[in-house]
Homo-oligomer: A and B are copies of this chain.
Amino acid sequence: MRIVLIGTGNVATRLGMALQAKNADIVQVFGRSEKNASILASELGCAFTTKIKQIVTDADIYIMAVSDDVISTLAAGFPLMDQLIVHTAGSISMEVLASVSENYGVLYPLQTMSARKDLDFSHIPFCIEASSEANLEKLRMLAATISDQVFEIDSQKRKQLHLAAVYVCNFVNHLYAIGEELLKEQNLDFNLLKPLISETAEKVMQFSPNDVQTGPAIRGNKAVMESHLDMLEQHPEWKKIYGIMSDDIKSSQKKETFQNL
Binding site for B on A (CB under 8 A): 9-11, 65-69, 88-91, 110-117, 119, 123-125, 149, 151, 153, 156-157, 159-180, 182-183, 185-186, 188, 190, 192-201, 203-219, 221, 223-224, 227-228, 231-232, 237-238, 240-242, 244-245, 247-249, 251-253, 257-261
Contact = CB atoms under 8 A, between A and B. Distances in A.
A216 B170 contact: yes
A139 B257 CA distance: 29
Interface of A is mostly: helix
A190 to B, nearest CB: 7
Copies in the complex: 2
A176 to B, nearest CB: 4
B174 A245 contact: yes
Contacts of A195: 110-111, 123-125, 149
Contact of A173 (B160, B204, B221, B238): B204
Contact of A112 (B115, B159, B196): B196
Contacts of A245: 170-171, 174, 241
Contacts of A160: 182-183, 185-186, 188, 231
A221 B67 contact: yes
Given A168-B179, A193-B164, A173 B200 contact: yes
Contacts of A205: 194, 197-198
